[in-house]
Chain A
Amino acid sequence: MTDSKYFTTTKKGEIFELKAELNSDKKEKKKEAVKKVIASMTVGKDVSALFPDVVNCMQTDNLELKKLVYLYLMNYAKSQPDMAIMAVNTFVKDCEDPNPLIRALAVRTMGCIRVDKITEYLCEPLRKCLKDEDPYVRKTAAVCVAKLHDINAQLVEDQGFLDTLKDLISDSNPMVVANAVAALSEIAESHPSSNLLDLNPQSINKLLTALNECTEWGQIFILDCLANYTPKDDREAQSICERVTPRLSHANSAVVLSAVKVLMKFMEMLSKDLDYYGTLLKKLAPPLVTLLSAEPELQYVALRNINLIVQKRPEILKHEMKVFFVKYNDPIYVKLEKLDIMIRLASQANIAQVLAELKEYATEVDVDFVRKAVRAIGRCAIKVEQSAERCVSTLLDLIQTKVNYVVQEAIVVIKDIFRKYPNKYESVIATLCENLDSLDEPEARAAMIWIVGEYAERIDNADELLESFLEGFHDESTQVQLQLLTAIVKLFLKKPTETQELVQQVLSLATQDSDNPDLRDRGYIYWRLLSTDPVAAKEVVLAEKPLISEETDLIEPTLLDELICYIGTLASVYHKPPSAFVEGGRGVVHKSLPPRTASSESTESPETAPAGAPPGEQLDVIPTQGDLLGDLLNLDLGPPVSGPPLATSSVQMGAVDLLGSGLDSLMGDEPEGIGTPNFVSPPATAVPANLGAPMGSGLSDLFDLTSGVGTLSGSYVAPKAVWLPAMKAKGLEISGTFTRQVGSISMDLQLTNKALQVMTDFAIQFNRNSFGLAPAAPLQVHAPLSPNQTVEISLPLNTVGSVMKMEPLNNLQVAVKNNIDVFYFSTLYPLHILFVEDGKMDRQMFLATWKDIPNENEAQFQIRDCPLNAEAVSSRLQSSNIFTVAKRNVEGQDMLYQSLKLTNGIWVLAELRIQPGNPSFMLSLKCRAPEVSQHVYQAYETILKN
């Protein structure tokens, strides 16, 4: 007698038969029928048609039958809301049952029925259950608040359930505390600004007490909640650490990792001289090592986190290298992670062991893993200078194996070693040249060609070697072609006499027979350089190259600090901050490590609190972690990459790019706005005459830059800045600026495809921000963006999006999607785009308001070096919607009283004091929301100085 009998079907039609059974008088038969219904439900069959019949079975004393009906209800109530009402009565009755199990079950099930009408009836029973005498009911009710919040947040707030929930944090039962914390955390996640989990030393103490007594899952919730707290000084931090440390010995790995998170974060506040600091460091290693003996899935998550920890505090695991050695039957995802950590831990002390291991891995079966292992050897050489020699000889041994992919991979990394240690290991070139014929992958071929070109003077038959590559020039991939071109030019500059013919040949191949603009451009550049000024050519092409460093693959420190706050979460697995990927950017607050100070005020005022990302250069672009090894070692052999050139020939690359884009726009085949890089007028307004610059004046763009700015009526428009460099977005470069014209805000974007493939399917999304900026229309890129093409788009914006306070206030996080990937960046928008046209205040009103705003809301700033007089200032500000309400002359000073209004209705009043002859102005700002003052001041600065 097993449940599989419930799956058997009859000819008559299952539903029909079930219906008859459900309405049977016999209890037993009813129960069996409900079981059959549930069984069908579990495998995904639709049995919603039986709703009324199943609900009829609900009134019963039989607990199992009741539970089964509840299970059914949860699944289907949504599809039959009217019918679901039938169940309400029973629920309400059950909430009064003397048996706590039934009370809890009723309130729990009711919360799972996501039907509005039912939730109304839920409030009263829920309120009772939250105060129930039985802790089992209370803890169930706590979770129910979270469920209800998910369905109807407003209702929960109106009914005051949040306060009741907060009270439960002080409940006498630890399980209730844990569930209340869990529920509050979940609610807080969708309400980032609310101070739901407002922690103070007292509540922390309660949590720490509950931590020792609640279930493992409760411990996770409490630890995660503790991690969000910022202790007021190092003593408090230490005492919390002391009480959390025992959790490191828990059998549940999630508890361990959450405890590690709390400790890693609070350690930041402890002084390194403290004895306790050292003890804590020692205590962290064993639990991390233990995580690695768990099941592979747990290992994987643990390894991703250890990867972060090792970067933040290498001292913790520096003696534990061996536990990261790879076992041959580890799953591939574990192997690759272990390998990455091994290299991070490699040092002079253990390099011999690491190399021996890596060499062993290079003979394994799995090709991907072998390749990574070979690359890792190269990374070791670059990281640990003393080991370079041994690494090179290991690589040579591997080349001797003649295994094709090993040889190719080895050559690629040897090239990097040459770049790090120039003129040191040329002796191996001969061995490399022997393997020339076996190279069939573009990357390896390109690397080999680079080596030949770079050391052309020491390779006797360099010209023959390069010539042999030249034969199939058109069949090669672009990176090989580019590399070959450069290499032959280098060879020519080194041995001009014998290779003139060769260089002519390659230049003509590149410029005349190739369709690839990159190649053609580079060809032309070389050609012109060589024909006009060979000496300059030599300086450019044979210039000294910057050394590559080992640190390129590390996670950027601010990002790392943020990620440390997210240990144990998905963010730590992806090595991206949650804002970058959590669904819909649901209100994510940037977390940051606490500062190492004992001051108690620093955490309160936003100005002094450590921001997650440094202001200034706001390019929070997340480097892709996927292929660190590949990225690190990828020279400019690939498609042209902007950004800090790691390149072999950085100088000529730059040159090529300059001209490259010029040529591109000369050929400009896209219809819109090539000649107007600085501003694209919003669709509604007339195009001013000076914007009608002729198409294709790629170079004149440069000159337009200065003359064009500011001549437009309307707000000041900053020149476009690069927001997302191509290097960080798989070849998509985005630069842009914000404009405000006749009441409409827009974001002017310039998208450049610097990748080799065509980009399509563009879309854009903003994270919630302080002023609710949101795209008013989808991002319209009409034609696919082909390589090296640039398109200008003006994206109209509105301010009706959802609002969340950002730090800094004018920060905007943007996600741009194309067919390749999704990219994230953040930028600061100038506040004056939010100044509305009806921002002129009546005089009386101005006076009254000025008096009305308390003096502590007044902020004073100095604007230096502004040569304008009061008239000019006034008119210039007016064009950006800062209106002069009144003007007075007091003791020879011009006083301008000005007003402006932001899109969200906030008024800002200003008093601008101008002394004729003195280029410094005094600006006093009064506003009910004083945090905007700083940004308004910046807006003044930008408008007046440009």
Chain B
Amino acid sequence: MIHSLFLINSSGDIFLEKHWKSVVSRSVCDYFFEAQERATEAENVPPVISTPHHYLLSVYRHKIFFVAVIQTEVPPLFVIEFLHRVVDTFQDYFGVCSEPVIKDNVVVVYEVLEEMLDNGFPLATESNILKELIKPPTILRTVVNTITGSTNVGDQLPTGQLSVVPWRRTGVKYTNNEAYFDVIEEIDAIIDKSGSTVTAEIQGVIDACVKLAGMPDLTLSFMNPRLLDDVSFHPCVRFKRWESERILSFIPPDGNFRLLSYHVSAQNLVAIPVYVKHNISFRDSSSLGRFEITVGPKQTMGKTIEGVTLSSQMPRGVLNMSLTPSQGTHTFDPVTKMLSWDVGKINPQKLPSLKGTMSLQAGASKPDENPTINLQFKIQQLAISGLKVNRLDMYGEKYKPFKGIKYMTKAGKFQVRT
């Protein structure tokens, strides 16, 4: 199972190590550093590295490498999922996951890691339970602890640990009982030169924030559950009920959690809410190129597209760009050749555009590659797949909760080739 964990910052310093079995010398990380050197960018470091005696599995999050060391055959996904859980837990505990924050809370970090694994076997990874075992630091608690000498380590066995609902702590009390659900969909798409869709798919999630007292039993039903043919559920969802009735029935964890994620694949027609018209031309002889981009709405179901930003990695031969946007602001970094344009809202009556010229390296031949445009946008109150929640009911408790559902569509990896 998982032997050790090293946290490494982007400049290559090991700033935390934790061993769950015998101590593995940190020199094992040298193999990781070698791989890091070979990879041009941090993102390109291969996640599985083999060394003569160990295997290193790593994830890169928040500019930190989480490197797990294993010695025997262990499912790599198990390790990587666990590392993600570590990142999530840190974020949950400290608000952000960064080197200074981890260093500031090193003892809590250490205690938490010790609770998460025993001899390399996962022990407590649900944040609800961890928080009962080791209380997250807050300014107030630190002050109180210093005065009273009490600790931030719980001395009671968390009740949820062994119950049938290990994800929920018992004895939850709220005065305002509320349950919010956010249906968030991200469109991943590749659009080719001519504007037709190469691939498009929707990654959707339903994130919940449930603050309900006692042991509520919720059911959530959809208008069109048939859309959901590829779903991954939080362990709390009763799978049988979903199979037979297409209804989500569950006792929720307390607080924030992801109820389900789903995938609407390329075969169902995915609506593309924006289009980009572009005219980027380099001429062989001239040292000037023309550049023109227009963005417009396509299938938006009458909603406004907001928060639009475009970015594009221009070819190396581009020295500078002189552009005028019809709205928003744009920047071009002549060193990294990154063009970005913060558009804002799209007004269908007056389509935003960015026009101008590029100055190219004199005498150089025209660039081999065409820039790809990366698009970001948001549409409030719309789930682009058409998914709609029908109703939410609560059983098991007497009070009347406050319920809310929000929809949002965002661009995920949305790329337009030129």
Residue numbers of A with Cβ under 8 A of B are 1-4, 6-7, 27-28, 31, 35, 38-39, 42-44, 62-65, 67-68, 71, 74-75, 78, 99-101, 104, 108, 111-112, 114, 134-136, 140, 143-144, 146-147, 150, 173, 175, 179, 182-183, 186, 189, 213, 215-217, 220, 224, 246, 249-254, 256-258, 286-287, 289-290, 293, 295-298, 300-302, 319-320, 322-323, 325, 327-329, 331-333, 356-357, 360, 363-365, 401, 403, 406, 568-571, 573-574, 578, 581-583, 586
CB A213 to nearest CB in B, in angstroms, measures: 7
Which residues of B in the span 100-129 have a Cβ within 8 Å of any Cβ on A? 100, 103-111, 114, 118-119, 121-123, 125-126
CB A354 to nearest CB in B, in angstroms, measures: 11
Which one of A71, A213, A319, A331 contacts B164 once the chains associate, using CB atoms below 8 Å? A213
Besides A3-B107, A216-B235, 16 new A-B residue pairs in contact (Cβ under 8 A), listed by A number: A38-B106, A42-B17, A99-B155, A111-B119, A217-B78, A287-B232, A290-B263, A297-B60, A298-B80, A301-B47, A301-B76, A323-B199, A328-B372, A333-B46, A363-B368, A570-B74
Residues of A within 8 A of B261 (CB): 251, 290
Residues of B within 8 A of A146 (CB): 119, 121
CB B135 to nearest CB in A, in angstroms, measures: 10
CB B413 to nearest CB in A, in angstroms, measures: 5
Contact: A136 with B125, CB < 8 Å? Answer: no
Contact: B198 with A357, CB < 8 Å? Answer: yes
The verdict on A63 contacting B119 (CB below 8 Å), with A136-B161, A297-B58 known, is no
| Nearest neighbor of A302 in chain B, beta-carbon distance | B77
Which residues of B in the span 142-191 have a Cβ within 8 Å of any Cβ on A? 142-143, 146, 149, 151-157, 161-162, 164, 166, 188, 190
Which secondary structure characterizes the binding site on chain B? mixed
The verdict on A286 contacting B229 (CB below 8 Å), with A364-B369, A570-B48 known, is yes
Residues of A within 8 A of B126 (CB): 215
- How far, in whole Å, are A109 and B60 apart by their CA atoms in the complex? 31
Residues of B within 8 A of A1 (CB): 142-143, 146
- How far, in whole Å, are A286 and B265 apart by their CA atoms in the complex? 9
- Interface membership of chain B positions 264-306, coded 1 if the CB is closer than 8 angstroms to chain A and 0 otherwise: 0111000000000000000000000000000000000000000
Contact: B111 with A189, CB < 8 Å? Answer: no
Contact: A3 with B46, CB < 8 Å? Answer: no
Contact: A323 with B162, CB < 8 Å? Answer: no
Contact: A253 with B81, CB < 8 Å? Answer: yes
| Nearest neighbor of A213 in chain B, beta-carbon distance | B164
Contact: B78 with A220, CB < 8 Å? Answer: yes
Contact: B368 with A301, CB < 8 Å? Answer: no
Contact: B235 with A251, CB < 8 Å? Answer: yes
Contact: A67 with B84, CB < 8 Å? Answer: no
Stretch at the interface among B21-29, B324-332, B391-399: B21-29
Contact: B78 with A295, CB < 8 Å? Answer: no
CB A856 to nearest CB in B, in angstroms, measures: 38
| Nearest neighbor of B81 in chain A, beta-carbon distance | A254
CB B30 to nearest CB in A, in angstroms, measures: 14
The 3 closest A-B pairs by CB, nearest first: A286-B230, A2-B104, A64-B151
- How far, in whole Å, are A685 and B295 apart by their CA atoms in the complex? 87
Contact: B235 with A6, CB < 8 Å? Answer: no
CB B137 to nearest CB in A, in angstroms, measures: 8
Which one of A64, A108, A224, A256 contacts B152 once the chains associate, using CB atoms below 8 Å? A64
Contact: A323 with B235, CB < 8 Å? Answer: no
The verdict on A295 contacting B73 (CB below 8 Å), with A7-B103, A67-B111, A75-B19 known, is no
Contact: A568 with B110, CB < 8 Å? Answer: no
Contact: B233 with A250, CB < 8 Å? Answer: yes
Residues of A within 8 A of B119 (CB): 111-112, 143-144, 146-147
Residues of B within 8 A of A75 (CB): 19, 23
Residues of A within 8 A of B82 (CB): 217
Contact: A38 with B75, CB < 8 Å? Answer: no
Contact: A253 with B77, CB < 8 Å? Answer: yes
Residues of A within 8 A of B125 (CB): 215-217
Residues of B within 8 A of A64 (CB): 111, 151-153
Residues of B within 8 A of A290 (CB): 230, 232, 261, 263
Residues of A within 8 A of B60 (CB): 297
Question: Is the CB of B8 closer than 8 A to any CB of chain A?
Answer: no
Contact: B122 with A217, CB < 8 Å? Answer: yes
Question: Is the CB of B309 closer than 8 A to any CB of chain A?
Answer: no
Residues of B within 8 A of A67 (CB): 111, 114, 153
- How far, in whole Å, are A1 and B138 apart by their CA atoms in the complex? 10
Residues of A within 8 A of B152 (CB): 64
Contact: B413 with A329, CB < 8 Å? Answer: yes
Residues of B within 8 A of A570 (CB): 48, 55, 73-76
Residues of B within 8 A of A258 (CB): 75
The verdict on A322 contacting B266 (CB below 8 Å), with A217-B121, A365-B369, A583-B72 known, is yes
CB B143 to nearest CB in A, in angstroms, measures: 8
Residues of B within 8 A of A568 (CB): 75-78
Residues of A within 8 A of B201 (CB): 293, 322-323
Contact: A179 with B77, CB < 8 Å? Answer: no
- How far, in whole Å, are A586 and B26 apart by their CA atoms in the complex? 24
Contact: B114 with A301, CB < 8 Å? Answer: no
Contact: A3 with B106, CB < 8 Å? Answer: yes
| Nearest neighbor of A581 in chain B, beta-carbon distance | B50
Can you name 15 A-B residue pairings with CB atoms under 8 Å?
Answer: A4-B100, A42-B109, A134-B157, A135-B162, A136-B157, A143-B119, A179-B121, A254-B78, A289-B263, A289-B265, A295-B84, A297-B80, A319-B267, A327-B415, A360-B417
- How far, in whole Å, are A72 and B104 apart by their CA atoms in the complex? 19
Contact: A175 with B263, CB < 8 Å? Answer: no
- How far, in whole Å, are A100 and B158 apart by their CA atoms in the complex? 10
- How far, in whole Å, are A484 and B265 apart by their CA atoms in the complex? 52
Residues of B within 8 A of A571 (CB): 73
Residues of A within 8 A of B111 (CB): 64, 67-68, 71
Contact: B72 with A189, CB < 8 Å? Answer: yes
Which of B46, B142, B234, B313 has the most CB atoms of chain A within a 10 A radius of its CB? B46
- How far, in whole Å, are A257 and B75 apart by their CA atoms in the complex? 9
Contact: B121 with A182, CB < 8 Å? Answer: yes
- How far, in whole Å, are A286 and B264 apart by their CA atoms in the complex? 10
Contact: B151 with A62, CB < 8 Å? Answer: yes
CB B1 to nearest CB in A, in angstroms, measures: 7
Contact: B1 with A186, CB < 8 Å? Answer: yes
CB A47 to nearest CB in B, in angstroms, measures: 13
Contact: A143 with B48, CB < 8 Å? Answer: no
Question: Is the CB of B86 closer than 8 A to any CB of chain A?
Answer: no
- How far, in whole Å, are A301 and B82 apart by their CA atoms in the complex? 14
- How far, in whole Å, are A608 and B382 apart by their CA atoms in the complex? 61
CB B56 to nearest CB in A, in angstroms, measures: 11
Question: Is the CB of B239 closer than 8 A to any CB of chain A?
Answer: yes
Question: Is the CB of B18 closer than 8 A to any CB of chain A?
Answer: yes
| Nearest neighbor of A248 in chain B, beta-carbon distance | B232
Contact: B75 with A403, CB < 8 Å? Answer: no
Question: Is the CB of B203 closer than 8 A to any CB of chain A?
Answer: yes
CB B257 to nearest CB in A, in angstroms, measures: 10
| Nearest neighbor of B155 in chain A, beta-carbon distance | A63
Which one of B14, B75, B109, B110 contacts A569 once the chains associate, using CB atoms below 8 Å? B75
Contact: B105 with A327, CB < 8 Å? Answer: no
| Nearest neighbor of B266 in chain A, beta-carbon distance | A322
Contact: A3 with B105, CB < 8 Å? Answer: yes
- How far, in whole Å, are A146 and B20 apart by their CA atoms in the complex? 13
Contact: B71 with A297, CB < 8 Å? Answer: no
- How far, in whole Å, are A134 and B121 apart by their CA atoms in the complex? 19
| Nearest neighbor of B77 in chain A, beta-carbon distance | A254
Question: Is the CB of B44 closer than 8 A to any CB of chain A?
Answer: yes
Question: Is the CB of B402 closer than 8 A to any CB of chain A?
Answer: no
- How far, in whole Å, are A173 and B164 apart by their CA atoms in the complex? 9
Contact: A28 with B21, CB < 8 Å? Answer: no
| Nearest neighbor of B46 in chain A, beta-carbon distance | A333
CB B241 to nearest CB in A, in angstroms, measures: 11
Contact: A215 with B166, CB < 8 Å? Answer: yes
Residues of B within 8 A of A329 (CB): 374, 413, 415
- How far, in whole Å, are A38 and B18 apart by their CA atoms in the complex? 11
- Interface membership of chain B positions 180-221, coded 1 if the CB is closer than 8 angstroms to chain A and 0 otherwise: 000000001010100000110101000000000000000000
Contact: A44 with B17, CB < 8 Å? Answer: yes
- How far, in whole Å, are A645 and B412 apart by their CA atoms in the complex? 48
